[in-house]
Structures are given as C-alpha cells and as structure tokens.
C-alpha cells in the first residue's frame, strides 16, 4: 500500500505537469511516471533496509558464497549480506558471453566463437573475453553510439547541422572511444569549441542547442540544461522558467531551493559566445555555424519577446557555478566553465553512474539524469519522509575515485564493471523476488535490445549482413551501431522502418524508447526485415544461414545446434532438439527456415539477459 507521502508525490507530479504557468516546460507524462516509480522503489528499499537493520540486532549476517573480484563486489555483496538479501547465482558461461558481447559491442558472437568459449576450461576465460571485447573495433562502434545518443548527434536538427559537421562529430567521438582519451579533456573541448562547424567537430554540440529565431538567452539557457543533464546528471530546465520554490518540493528537494537567477548565473558562462549562421554551400541548401567568443558582455535577462521561456528582466548576471557559486578566474568564461565542471566531483560521479546504468540497466542513482543533490549524502540525509536516492554511496565514491585516478578513462570503468561478480549475476532469481532487491542489484535486470542492436543481431543470426550507405561517407558500413545518427541510412526505407519500429526515435520529434511493446512483437513476426532473412527463394543459391545449413553435411541434430549457437548464443537442450525434430515439415530448408524464424521471435533473442 502506498504511504501518504507517495500519494501526495503522485498528485504533485501530475499537478506539476499541469501548471498554469504557460512558459513552464511541461514535465512529460513519461518522466512523471518514471519518477513516481522511482519514488516508490526508493521508499520500498528504505523500508526493507530499516526492517533488516532491526532484525540484525538478533542475528548475525551470513556471507554469500559469491566470489569478490573487486571493490564493486565488496560493496554490493556486503550490503546484501548485512540486510539478509540472497543474490542470484553467477550466470552461465553462455549467458555471460551473450550479455557482455551485446553490452560492449552491440553484437552476438559467431557459432565457432561460442563453442570455443564454452569449451575453454581456463579459470580466467571471462576476464580474457572482456579484454578481447574492449579491444575490438565493435567496442568502438557500440560505445561511440552510446555517446552519440548521450549528445543526441543528428543531422536532422532542422537545417542547422549538415552532413559534414555530423560526420565530423561522429568521427571525433569514435576517435575518443578508440583511443580511450580522457573524458574530461573531451568535455572541455566540447564546451569551449570555436570555429567552423564543417571543420571543428565539437562545435556540433553547441549547434544542437541553438534556438534559432528566439532570443539568444534561450540558446544559452538550453545549452545550460544540456550541460547539467549530460555532464552533471540533473535537469535544470524547470528553473530556467521559474524558481523551484512552490513547484519542485515534491519532485526534487535540491532544485526546489534553486532560483531562476541562479540558473542565469550558470547560463552566463555562455553569454560571451557568439554564433554566426552562414550558408554551408553555394546554393543555400544547408547552413553551418561559426563560433567565437567576445572579451566582454554578460547575461542580460531583459527579454519580453515570445520564446520557449516566459519573459524575464534583471541583470546583468555574471557567471556563478550552480552548485557552488564559484566564479570564473578570468574573462574566458567557457574555458572557466569547463575547468570548474570537469573538476567538480559531481562530474565524475554522474559519469560513472551513467556507465553503471548502461551496464546494469539501473543506476546507483536512478534515473541517471535525475539526481536530487539533497538526497545523495548519507552524512547529511534528507528530512523525513524523504530517503536517500543513491543505493550505494560508498561504492559511488570509489567508482568516481577510480575514474579520476585512471585519467578519466571510460574503458577503465567498463572493465571494472564487466569483470565484477555483481555484473555477472544471473537474471534468474531462485527464490521469491522482492522489488526492493532491485536497489541491491541482487540479480541482473534484463533489457530489450536497442533498435540498432536488434538490427545487428538479426543480421548476424541469419548471416545476411547488408551494406548500408551514409551521406558523406564514401565507404559502406555493415552494422547499425556504425550509423552516425538516427536519420540514416536515408536511402533505405526498410532499415529505417525496422529501427523506428523498435524505438530509435530521431532526437527531435520522437524520443528514443527502449521499452518493449506488443506492436514490436507483431512487427518482428511479420516484417520483411525478419521474414525475408529466414528463407531463400532459390535453394541452389544459399543466401542466409538456414540455406547454408540445409546444404551442409551436418546431421539434422547438428544443424539445429548450429542454429541455436548462431541465434541464441547457446546450444539447445535435448528437449528443444526433440521438439524441433518432432515438428519439422517439408524440406530441410523449409523446416530450418521455420526454426530460424521461431528463434528470432523468442524473448531470449529480443532481450539481453
């Protein structure tokens, strides 16, 4: 039963989305729903922990048998032991292989790779696998896509970002991931970029926030919210329109005490930036941007014209960092913002939390872009009945320490996580699952594959990789996680249709949606992208895996086994083999095609467990 607190929170959340203030960015219903679910889960976890603490007084904690590999495991299993939560067992080799391959590369291994890993008896084979994946070109593709999604890289931002700038930024991110450049340096370059958007890669991040046709203050304000969300983990859009007081008390305690003037102080860091919009070609078919900085100026908030935010007056405002009030030490305000932000402890904590949420499908602070800074310090807990937002405060600090000590290496954090026993727990829980255990990471939380992952594993499972062409790139690409933005491949409507059906979105009008739905299942069962990859019109010209297996010298049992290895990254059970053999109809090619189609529509193909 919900407590009175959460009834009031639900009401407040709904009311917040219906404020009379016409200039307030409406809190999307999806965000309200997610926020309410998080409040419920936080409260449930807090109540469970309080009950466990009372019971600890009468009995000693039993240590789980799970091996502790690193400090992640020490923190995760110590808390479970202390509160009497039993973890799931360690996942099987086959499940681990598929899970980590998809998370780190967006792809599934070939059948021979599956067999080699499963037959390997060495004690360190999982560690070696993680290192192999981290060193692969596919890792660069997948984590480049992670950051491209984070920064919403697209050429579909009206007519402001052309193919040259888009491709340049994508290559910039690929280079960052491939060389594992320090993330703080990359963020500094993004925040301080100057020059031509066709020649300077990080300039596209600035253009992505440009509010063309609106007062320039709206661009500064939009960039500020994009910066706080992506680099610090919290939204500031609400206080760009109004003070937090009387609006956010039921949503975010820390933001409820922030004012619009404080937001303008943060936005002032951008107020000396100058953007010039010029033609990008001889025919004015596209535009580009050239950025520079003035040596004077400040944030004047005398804005009465219509725009995305309500009118404001006052100022001039000079830069003041929103969490500490720190001011720049010189007149290069964007450089100073980059210096203050990348040395802010919250930058490191937000970054590792984003990476943790990517690998575990649930953050140490969740949602990872919804931090409430008033509810993350166990030494300064929030007033009752609020609870701490962070699940494992000490672990979060240790991860941030490791990130900084490893020169802000993203790969070092992913390596730590992938090698931990906590990450390698099974998604199957042997006992009665309590939703409160989610905040203990007592089992691995499955997730539906992303649109790009769905397309790529479909190609690999059926052995039907098809070249795709991207505007501005002379060479074709083979995998969806290599596409530079959600508008590509523009010349292939079937691929676009497939990925749109699985929630890719476009970062402008349609948000990315990772949630499964019944329409996706129906689409997967009937769409040409799936169905046509499972059968061959001419059996004498094998064009996919069923046709090649049909023509192979494999026995029926071995052909079935190969199909399972290629599609589900595991061998079939004896029962599954028996079922297939008992139901096969028609030619060998026909029943193998039917089997391929059935495996592509199993939940353990569509989800990463």
User: What torsion do the CA atoms of 569, 573, 578, 583 make, to the nearest 10 degrees?
Assistant: -40
Dump the DSSP string for 221-248.
HHHHHHHIIIIIS---TGGGTS-STTTS
State whether residue 61 is helix, strand or coil: coil
Identify the pLDDT of residue 50: 87
Answer yes or no: do 455 and 601 share one domain. Answer: yes
Among all chains, which residue has been given the structure tokens 């495991």?
73
**Segment 182-199, tens digit of pLDDT:** 999 999 999 999 999 999
Confidence of residue 29 (pLDDT cuts 50, 70, 90): low
Answer yes or no: do 203 and 333 share one domain. Answer: yes
Task: Give the whole-number percent of the chain exceeding pLDDT 70.
Answer: 93
Identify the pLDDT of residue 23: 37
Answer yes or no: do 453 and 324 share one domain. Answer: no
Burial 99-118, CB ≥16 within 10 A → b, else e: bbbbbbbbbbbebebbeebb
Dump the DSSP string for 453-510.
HHHHHHHHHHT----B--TT-SS-B--GGG-SSTT--TT-HHHHHHHHHTT---SSSS
29 located within any domain: yes
Confidence of residue 374 (pLDDT cuts 50, 70, 90): very high
Mean pLDDT of 156-184: 93
125 located within any domain: no
Confidence of residue 580 (pLDDT cuts 50, 70, 90): very high
Confidence of residue 159 (pLDDT cuts 50, 70, 90): confident
Task: Give the whole-number percent of the chain exceeding pLDDT 90.
Answer: 73
The CA distance from 176 to 376, in Å, is 30
Mean pLDDT of 403-431: 97
- Specify the range with the lowest mean pLDDT, choosing from 16-20, 192-196, 440-444, 566-570: 16-20
Which of 343, 363, 392 represents a domain boundary (last residue)? 343
Name the more confident of 304 and 191: 191
**Segment 330-365, tens digit of pLDDT:** 999 999 999 999 999 999 999 999 999 999 999 999
The CA distance from 529 to 119, in Å, is 33
Identify the pLDDT of residue 28: 57
Q: Give the C-alpha distances (Å, rounded to integers) separating 285 from 166, 213, 278, 282.
A: 16, 18, 11, 8
User: What torsion do the CA atoms of 167, 168, 174, 180 make, to the nearest 10 degrees?
Assistant: -170
Answer yes or no: do 318 and 455 share one domain. Answer: no
Identify the pLDDT of residue 528: 85
**Segment 204-250, tens digit of pLDDT:** 999 999 988 888 999 999 999 999 999 999 999 988 888 888 788 88
141: closest CA among 451, 482, 468, 469? 482
255: closest CA among 391, 375, 387? 375
Identify the pLDDT of residue 71: 98
Answer yes or no: do 56 and 189 share one domain. Answer: no
Confidence of residue 411 (pLDDT cuts 50, 70, 90): very high
The CA distance from 409 to 405, in Å, is 9
> Which helix (H) or strand (E) covers residue 278, if one does?
strand 273-279
DSSP 26: P
Among all chains, which residue has been given the structure tokens 């079937």?
494
User: Any idea how long the chain is?
Assistant: 609
Tokens of 78: 């110590």
Answer yes or no: do 456 and 327 share one domain. Answer: no
354 located within any domain: no
203 located within any domain: yes
The CA distance from 88 to 438, in Å, is 12
Answer yes or no: do 337 and 458 share one domain. Answer: no
Mean pLDDT of 485-496: 93
Residue pair 155/163 in contact by the 8 Å Cβ criterion:
yes
Answer yes or no: do 339 and 457 share one domain. Answer: no
Tokens of 243: 């003070």
**Range 296-301 contact pairs with CB under 8 angstroms and sequence separation of 24 or more:** 296/272, 296/331, 297/271, 297/272, 298/268, 298/271, 299/217, 299/220, 299/264, 299/265, 299/267, 299/268, 299/271, 300/217, 301/217, 301/264
Answer yes or no: do 192 and 335 share one domain. Answer: yes
Identify the pLDDT of residue 27: 55
Which phi and psi angles does 293 have, rounded to 5°?
-130, 140
**Burial of 62 per CB tally in 10 Å (0-12, 13-18, 19+):** exposed
Residue 56 CB coordination number (10 Å): 13
The CA distance from 175 to 57, in Å, is 54
> Mean pLDDT highest for which of 23-32, 157-166, 465-474?
465-474
State whether residue 100 is helix, strand or coil: helix
Which of 343, 367, 383 represents a domain boundary (last residue)? 343
86 located within any domain: no
Residue 54 CB coordination number (10 Å): 9
Tokens of 166: 């888009």
pLDDT at 15 > cutoff 60: no
Give the contacts of 181 (CB within 8 A, at least 6 positions apart). 175
Residue pair 385/396 in contact by the 8 Å Cβ criterion:
no
The structural domain count of the chain equals 3
Identify the pLDDT of residue 92: 98
Confidence of residue 539 (pLDDT cuts 50, 70, 90): low
Q: Sign (positive/negative) of CA torsion 425, 426, 430, 436?
A: positive
Answer yes or no: do 458 and 338 share one domain. Answer: no
Give the chain's mean pLDDT: 90
Cα angle vertex 292, ends 287, 296, to 5°? Answer: 135
Identify the pLDDT of residue 30: 63
First to last CA, the chain: 30
Q: In the chain, count of helices (H) and strands (E)?
A: 26, 5
Identify the pLDDT of residue 8: 33
State whether residue 273 is helix, strand or coil: strand
Tokens of 74: 């020490």
pLDDT at 536 > cutoff 60: yes
Identify the pLDDT of residue 569: 98
Answer yes or no: do 481 and 601 share one domain. Answer: yes
82 located within any domain: no
Residue pair 403/351 in contact by the 8 Å Cβ criterion:
yes
Identify the pLDDT of residue 342: 98
387: closest CA among 82, 39, 76, 84? 39
Q: Give the C-alpha distances (Å, rounded to integers) separating 250 from 1, 4, 183, 215.
A: 19, 13, 34, 31
330 located within any domain: yes
355 located within any domain: no
Residue pair 124/94 in contact by the 8 Å Cβ criterion:
no
pLDDT at 369 > cutoff 90: yes
Which of 40, 64, 88 represents a domain boundary (last residue)? 64
Can you give the residue range of the structural domain that contains 43? 4-64
Tokens of 175: 């280079």
Confidence of residue 258 (pLDDT cuts 50, 70, 90): very high
**Segment 48-84, tens digit of pLDDT:** 988 888 877 656 667 888 999 999 999 999 999 999 9
Identify the pLDDT of residue 25: 47
Helix intervals (H) in 120-182: 125-134, 137-150, 163-179
Residue pair 424/69 in contact by the 8 Å Cβ criterion:
no
Among all chains, which residue has been given the structure tokens 């991860």?
399
């Amino acid at each position: 039963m919900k407590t009175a607190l959460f009834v009031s929170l639900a009401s407040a959340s709904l009311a917040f989305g219906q404020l009379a203030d016409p200039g307030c960015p409406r809190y999307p219903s999806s965000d309200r729903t997610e926020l309410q679910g998080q409040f419920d889960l936080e409260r449930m976890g807090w109540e469970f922990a309080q009950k466990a603490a009372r019971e600890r007084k009468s009995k000693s904690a039993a240590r789980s048998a799970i091996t502790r590999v690193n400090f992640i495991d020490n923190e995760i299993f110590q808390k479970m032991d202390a509160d009497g939560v039993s973890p799931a067992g360690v996942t099987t080799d086959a499940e681990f292989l598929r899970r980590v391959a998809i998370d780190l590369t967006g792809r599934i291994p070939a059948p021979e790779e599956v067999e080699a890993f499963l037959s390997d008896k060495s004690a360190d084979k999982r560690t070696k696998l993680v290192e192999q994946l981290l060193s692969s070109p596919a890792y660069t593709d997948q984590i480049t896509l992670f950051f491209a999604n984070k920064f919403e890289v697209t050429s579909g931002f009206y007519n402001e970002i052309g193919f040259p700038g888009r491709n340049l930024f994508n290559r910039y991110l690929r280079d960052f991931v491939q060389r594992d450049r320090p993330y703080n340096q990359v963020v500094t370059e993004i925040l301080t970029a100057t020059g031509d958007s066709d020649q300077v890669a990080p300039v596209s991040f600035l253009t992505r926030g440009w509010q063309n046709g609106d007062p320039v203050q709206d661009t500064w304000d939009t960039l500020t919210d994009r910066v706080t969300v992506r680099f610090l983990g919290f939204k500031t859009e609400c206080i760009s329109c109004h003070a937090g007081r009387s609006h956010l008390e039921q949503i975010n305690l820390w933001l409820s005490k922030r004012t619009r003037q404080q937001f303008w102080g943060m936005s002032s860091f951008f107020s000396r930036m100058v953007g010039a919009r010029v033609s990008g070609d001889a025919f004015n078919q596209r535009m580009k941007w050239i950025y520079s900085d003035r040596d004077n100026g400040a944030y004047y908030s005398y804005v009465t014209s219509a725009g995305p935010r309500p009118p404001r007056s006052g100022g001039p405002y000079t830069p003041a960092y929103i969490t500490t009030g720190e001011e720049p030490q010189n007149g290069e305000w964007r450089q100073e913002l980059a210096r203050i932000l990348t040395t802010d402890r919250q930058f490191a904590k937000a970054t590792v939390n984003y990476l943790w949420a990517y690998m575990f499908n649930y953050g140490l602070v969740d949602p990872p872009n919804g931090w409430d800074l008033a509810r993350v310090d166990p030494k300064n807990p929030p007033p009752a009945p609020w609870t701490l937002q962070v699940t494992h405060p000490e672990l979060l600090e240790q991860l941030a320490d490791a990130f900084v000590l490893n020169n802000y290496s993203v790969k070092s954090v992913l390596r730590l996580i992938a090698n931990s026993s906590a990450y390698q727990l099974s998604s199957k829980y042997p006992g009665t699952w309590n939703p409160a255990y989610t905040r203990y990471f007592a089992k691995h939380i499955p997730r539906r594959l992303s649109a790009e992952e769905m397309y790529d594993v479909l190609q690999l499972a059926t052995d039907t990789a098809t070249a795709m062409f991207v505007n501005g790139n002379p060479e074709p690409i083979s995998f969806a996680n290599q596409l530079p933005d959600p508008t590509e491949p523009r010349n292939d409507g079937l691929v676009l249709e497939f990925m749109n059906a699985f929630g890719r979105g476009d970062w402008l009008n349609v948000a990315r949606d990772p949630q499964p739905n019944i329409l996706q299942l129906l689409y997967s069962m009937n769409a040409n992208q799936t169905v046509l990859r499972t059968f061959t019109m001419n059996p004498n010209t094998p064009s996919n895996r069923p046709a090649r297996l049909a023509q192979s010298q494999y026995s029926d049992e071995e052909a079935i086994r190969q199909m399972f290895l290629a599609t589900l990254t595991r061998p079939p059970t004896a029962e599954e083999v028996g079922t297939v053999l008992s139901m096969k109809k028609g030619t060998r090619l026909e029943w193998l095609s039917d089997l391929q189609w059935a495996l592509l529509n199993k939940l353990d193909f569509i989800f990463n467990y």
